[in-house]
Chain A
Amino acid sequence: MSKGTIRNLLRRDTRADRVVPPTGFTAQLTLFVSGAMAFLAVFALALSLASGRLADRWASELAGAATLRINAPTDQRAAQTEAALNVLRQTPGVASARALTDEEQASLLSPWFGSDLPLDALPIPQLIEIIEGEPGLDAAGLRLRLGAEVPGAVLDDHTRWREPLVDAAQSLRRLGWISVLLIGGATAAMITLAANASLAANAQIIEVLRQVGARDRFIAGAFVRRFTFRALFGAAVGTLLGMSGVLLLPEASDAGGFLTGLGFQGIGWLFPALIPLLGAAVAFLATWSAAQRKLKELS
């Protein structure tokens, strides 16, 4: 189909559009389906974009830090900690390194052991927080050096935490996009059904139009315009309602976790504006293809 054909099909011609009766259940069906699907598409899109942001955040936050654990007898812990800090100060890619205080370590353990944990009476390893800088930490090289100089040091570069979390977030993002595609497919199927029903219900009108010399393009155009503009309107309303729903969701917070981060940010707010246009494009193609089939069948 050429650009010119598409332009001609979509060019509003109020007189030509009048040949298709304006009422019928297909009108309500198209409006409802496109509205409902656009509403769902907004949430699927929000889920996908939020998952993408989460994956990026988890990846960058966990990738930018590492933890060094000093498992040493109590009398050697301070010396090994100092040795480890020395090694870290000389290691390229380490922006900063510091040993956690007793209070910080107690705070980390408090969810499991309570707030009055006697840290000095327990063989708790000393933790060192490492913040990565440029050009990035060579974890394998650092492990070798620590193994030689600080025998009780165990480096955790968060890879085993980071990968499953990032994988999970990326899977959510994929599911979001698959949902958008399924919504598009379901919309196309429903509009095809509605267009077929409308074409069948108006078979007599098509016969009259043919008899007075109408080309298939004219007849198809009247139906295509009707369904495309209905879908555009329905999807616009559905998108507005969906975006209102997203706006009403609680704002992102650490306490709320992932669910409160569901929504759009920055340029992401522009993406839902594409939903009505995509809905109209889906309706255009579905109706055009249904009309071509039906007109061939009726000839």
Chain B
Amino acid sequence: MGTGVIELDNISYNYGGGELLSDVSLQLQPGSFHFLTGPSGAGKTTLLKLCYGALLPTSGRLMAFGEDIATTDRDQMALLRRRIGVVHQDCRFLDHMTLAENVALPLMVSGRGENGTQENLTELLGWVGLGGRLEAHPPELSGGERQRAALARAVILSPDVVLADEPTGNVDWEMSQRLLHLLVELNRMGKTVLIATHDLSLIRAAKSQVQARVLRIAQRRVQLAGADL
């Protein structure tokens, strides 16, 4: 295996009696920026879930930060996940908690951050443009606000990798550009970024801001996309 922060080596994944992904090999190098595209149902979300250990491959080898996921116990897996920030399309907030508590959730579960937590939180929410919404509850937020809050939660532990699943799926063009800008900014800070999206205009817009590698899932395999994008 190589030097990638996340490495998939001949991974296959079966779902519902059929093979959804077949012999997928992929390396996410530190500080790289990737787009993962493909039609709906092609397996983009599944591939992301494999990357952060929410699913285990049917066959093949999956390494995260040099650890083989197959031999990692649940406690170690939790520690690995703290190094991977995930932004879901549906955000997945705890609706009974405030925005500030939701964003601070990774700090809370990792036992970090009594000192200076509030300052860091305010700064982070300010960075994503939600400085004035700390006490709001998730159902009170707009789609764009939710996505930005999800991004803030994904990066609050300063992870090495940020995985985003259709982060612009529920927002308008202007907001999608803003989210893209935030993700590019994270990449410039040295984070590895992988965005799963079917929005080709987002990929085109990103090309002027960052050197991104575009991968396409087609016929159960991951291929490097051509220049037609």
Contact = CB atoms under 8 A, between A and B. Distances in A.
Contacts of B81: 210-213
Interface residues of A, number: 22
A18 B75 contact: no
Interface stretch (A214-222, A232-240, A266-274): A214-222
Given A218-B109, A299-B74, A22 B96 contact: yes
* Size range of the chain B interface in the assembly: 20 to 34
Interface stretch (A49-57, A65-73, A152-160, A201-209): A201-209
A213 B157 contact: yes
B209 interface: no
A207 B52 CA distance: 12
Contacts of A21: 94, 96
A19 B92 contact: no
Contacts of A218: 109
A216 B74 contact: yes
A3 interface: no
Interface in B70-87: 74-75, 78-79, 81-82, 86
A207 B78 CA distance: 12
B74 A213 contact: no
Contacts of B96: 18, 21-22
Given A18-B97, A18-B101, A210-B81, A215 B75 contact: yes
A216 B157 CA distance: 19
B153 interface: yes
B74 A204 contact: no
B74 A209 contact: no
B101 A209 contact: no
B105 interface: yes
B94 A205 contact: yes
Contacts of A7: none
Contact of B106 (A213, A215, A217, A299): A213
B189 interface: no
A210 B106 CA distance: 10
Contacts of A18: 96-97, 101
Contacts of B86: 211
Interface string A255-299: 000000000000000000000000000000000000000010001
A158 to B, nearest CB: 67
Given A204-B92, A299-B74, A212 B97 contact: no
Contacts of A217: 75
Contacts of B101: 15, 18
B54 interface: yes
B82 A213 contact: yes
B58 interface: no
Contact of A211 (B75, B92, B108, B157): B92
A299 B74 CA distance: 8
A16 interface: yes
B110 interface: yes
Contact of B92 (A207, A214, A215, A216): A207
Contact of B94 (A15, A208, A299): A208
A212 B74 contact: no
Given A18-B101, A299-B74, A212 B106 contact: yes
A215 B105 contact: no
Contacts of B82: 212-213
Counting chain B CB atoms within 10 Å of each CB, the highest count among A209, A211, A299 belongs to A211
Interface in B104-119: 105-106, 108-110
B65 to A, nearest CB: 13
B97 A19 contact: yes
Interface string A3-40: 00000000000011011011000000000000000000
Interface string B145-172: 0000000010001000000000000000
Nearest to B52: A211
Given A18-B97, A18-B101, A19-B97, A210 B92 contact: no
Nearest to B97: A18
A215 B109 CA distance: 8
B74 A15 contact: no
A212 B75 contact: no
B67 to A, nearest CB: 14
A276 to B, nearest CB: 28
A209 B54 contact: no
B75 A19 contact: no
B109 A216 contact: no
B92 A208 contact: yes
B192 to A, nearest CB: 17
Given A208-B94, A210-B54, A216-B75, 5 more contacts: A18-B96, A211-B52, A214-B109, A215-B109, A299-B74
6 contacts: A19-B94, A19-B105, A209-B105, A213-B81, A213-B110, A218-B109
> Lowest 4 A-B CB distances belong to which pairs?
A213-B82, A214-B109, A212-B106, A215-B78
